[in-house]
Amino acid sequence: MIELDAVGKTYPGAAAPAVTSLDLVVTTGEIVALVGPSGCGKTTTLKMINRLIEPSRGTIRVAGRDIGSVPGPELRRGIGYVIQHTGLFPHRTIAENIATVPRMLGWERGTIARRIGELVELMGLDPAIGTRYPAELSGGQRQRVGVARALAADPPVLLMDEPFGAVDPILRSRLQDELLALQRRLHKTIVLVTHDIDEAIKVADRVAILNIGGVLEQYAPPGELLRAPANAFVEDFLGADRGIKRLSLIRIAEVPLEAGPVVAPGAGAAEVAEAMRRYGVDWFGVVSGSDLLGWAWGSEAPSGAGGVALRPFEVRLQGADTLRDALDTAITGRTLVAPVFDGERYLGMLTVDAISRQVIG
Amino acid sequence: MIARPFIDWGWIVDHLDEIRDRIGEHLALTAIALGIGLIIALVLALAGLRVPRALPPITWTAGVLYTIPSLALFAFLVPITGFTTLTAEIGLVSYTLLILIRSIVTGIQGIDPAVTEAARGMGYSPRRMLWEIELPLALPVIVAGVRLAAVTTVGLVTVTALIGLGGVGFFILRGLNRFFDTEIVLGTALSVMLAMILDAALVGIERVLTPWSRRRSAT
C-alpha cells in the first residue's frame, strides 16, 4: 500500500541528511510503527508520505501511485492524519471539526451529517458532543475526535504522529486498546510514529527501528524483534527487559496450563501430600467441580483437606490476559502461581517455571 | 461685555443640524480610515508573514509614520494634495497601520502550531487556511488592534479640522478661535463619546464573530 524507494531528505543548510536513503514497504491493513531515538528521522519519514515534507530523493508510492504526481493538498485529503496535540480547530464545533475533509471534498450535507453520526458512535463519544467546542472537552475526548476527524472521509491510509504522546499513561493505554479494537473493524493501513518502544510493541504488526539519519536497523514483527534483535543498536533500544516485553505479546490462551497441586474438598492426607510432592510445593489448592475454592499450607492439613480454612486466590486471570500479567500475579502471590479462569470456571494454573519456558522456547 | 455661561445650551439647541452633520462627517472619516487601513495592513502583514525577511522593514516604516506629529504631516501634505478628504485620509490611514499590522501579525503568529499543522495535514491549501483557519483564529487579537486604532482615529479626526474637515473637531477649532467655551466642550465631549460608542460596538461585533472563545469548561 505504501512503498518508500530510496527515499531521502536533506534539509537546507543541514550538514547531514535527516534521512539518507530509506526503503520501506507497508502492506495493506497492517499497523507499522516507526521508532527510534530523536534525530532518527521518523517524523520526517512520516511527513514525507503525505508530502507535508517534500522528499529530496527517491520515490514514494501510495496505492501504487507516485505521490510526487499528486498536488499536496489533494493527496492529503485522501490520507488520514492524527497528531500528538490533536490540532482540533478551536473555532469549530466537534461536528464541524469531524466534517472538515468531507466538506473540502464537497460531500452533500446529509451525507456528512450521517457520517458524523457514524464516527461519533464508532469512537464511543456522546452524540451531544457535536455542538460543543474543543475547549469544552477532556483530553481523551479530544484525542478520539482527532481520530474521528482523520477517519471522516474513510481514507485507506492513516498517518499518526505520536498520537498518544500527550496523555497520561492510563489514558494512553486505553486509547491504544481502542485503536486496536478500531483496527480490527476497519483494516486501515496505519503508519505510526512513537518514541515509546512499548507502544510500538503493543500496537504494531511490524516495527521499523530507525537509527540517526533514517538508517533502518531492523523491520520485523514485535515478537521477532524481541526474540532476535538484528544488532547491538536494536538490542540496546529494546532495553534490558526484552524477556518481559516478550511476555506481554503472548496471551495466556495460547499456552498450555497445568492442573496445579489441587485436590477435591474431601481429599485425605495422602492425596494432599502426593499433590504437593508432584509440584514440589508446600501448599495445595481445593477444587470443587470447576470452582477453585482457595488454598492452604500443607502444614495446616495434617489429616487431609476436609475442614481446613482456605485462603482465596486474589487475582483471577483470563485467557485474553498476557503472560506478563501472569508473571506479575505469580511473583506477587505467596503460592507463586497464576490461576486462570474462563469467566468463573477454573481452567488451570501457570507457574513461574512454565511462564519462563515460553520465553526460553 | 456680557458674562456668558460656561455652556450655552441655547446655542447647542440652535445648532443641532450642524452637530448632526459634523458627527456624520466624523464617523465617515473614521470608517474610511479604518477600512482602508485594514485592507493595506492585511496585505502588508500577510506579505510579511509569507516572506519573513520583509516583515522588519514593513513594521519599521509603519512605525516611522506613526511617530510623525499629525500637525506636521497635514501641513506637509496640503501643498501636494490640498485641503481635501484625500489629505485627511492619507494621514489617518498612516496612523492606523502600525497598530493594525502588529495585531494581524501577532494574531496569526499566536495560533497553536498544532492547529495549522493539522489543517495542512488534512489538505488545506494556503489560501483556504488563511480564510478558514488563520484569520478566524486571529480575530480576537485583530479586533483588539482595530479597537485601539478606532479610538486613536476618532481622536485624530479632530485635528483634520485644520484642513477644513475634522468632524466634531470643527467645533473645537472654531471655539478656540472665537473664545467660545461651549463649542470647545461640545467638540471634545462628542469626540470622547464617539470613541467610546465605537469601541463598545466593536466589542459587540467581536462577541458575535467568535462564539467559540467564550465557551470553556472541561479540561
Please name each of the domains of chain B with its CATH number: 16-210 (1.10.3720.10)
Nearest residue, CB atoms, B215 vs list A100, A135, A159: A135
Say yes or no to pLDDT of B10 above 90.
no
Report percent pLDDT > 70 for chain A: 100
Average pLDDT rounded to a whole number, residues A185-201: 93
A88 min Cα distance to partner chain B (Å):
6
- pTM of the predicted protein model: 0.79
Let me know: does B95 contact B152? Beta carbons within 8 Å: yes
| Predicted pLDDT at B6 | 76
Whether chain B has a CB inside 8 Å of the CB on A135: the answer is yes
- Closest Cα in chain A to B219: A138
Q: How far apart are CA A193 and CA A85, in angstroms?
A: 14
Q: In B, which residues are within 8 Å of A107 by CB distance?
A: none
Q: In B, which residues are within 8 Å of A97 by CB distance?
A: none
Say yes or no to pLDDT of A308 above 90.
no
Say yes or no to pLDDT of B73 above 90.
no
A133 min Cα distance to partner chain B (Å):
6
pLDDT tens-place string over residues B105-127: 999 999 999 999 999 999 999 99
Angle (CA) B163 B167 B171, round 5°? 85
CB within 8 Å: A76 and B121:
yes
Mode of pairing for the β-strands spanning A57-62 and A2-9: antiparallel
- Look over chain A and give the mean of its residue pLDDT values, rounded to a whole number: 91
Average pLDDT rounded to a whole number, residues B160-187: 87
Let me know: does A359 contact A247? Beta carbons within 8 Å: yes
| Predicted pLDDT at B3 | 59
| Predicted pLDDT at A168 | 87
Q: How far apart are CA A323 and CA A43, in angstroms?
A: 33
- For an interface test with B, give the residue of A91, A97, A151 to mutate (most B CBs within 10 A): A91
Average pLDDT rounded to a whole number, residues A171-186: 91
| Predicted pLDDT at B36 | 96
pLDDT tens-place string over residues A83-92: 988 899 999 9
pLDDT bin (cut points 50, 70, 90) of residue B218 is: very low
Q: Domains along chain A?
A: 2-247 (3.40.50.300), 252-360 (3.10.580.10)
Nearest residue, CB atoms, B124 vs list A73, A135, A159: A73
Average pLDDT rounded to a whole number, residues A274-279: 90
Say yes or no to pLDDT of B219 above 50.
no
A86 min Cα distance to partner chain B (Å):
7
CB within 8 Å: A90 and B120:
no
Average pLDDT rounded to a whole number, residues A25-33: 96
Better-predicted residue by pLDDT, A166 or B215: A166
Collect all residues with Cβ–Cβ distance below 8 Å to B81 and sequence separation of at least 6.
B87, B90
| Predicted pLDDT at B216 | 56
| Predicted pLDDT at B53 | 92
> What would the grid cell of residue A187 be?
483494516
Average pLDDT rounded to a whole number, residues B55-59: 92
Nearest residue, CB atoms, B115 vs list A72, A87, A104: A87
CB within 8 Å: B217 and A136:
yes
| Predicted pLDDT at B113 | 93
CB within 8 Å: B124 and A84:
no
CB within 8 Å: B123 and A101:
yes
A12 min Cα distance to partner chain B (Å):
17
Say yes or no to pLDDT of A20 above 50.
yes
Say yes or no to pLDDT of A64 above 70.
yes
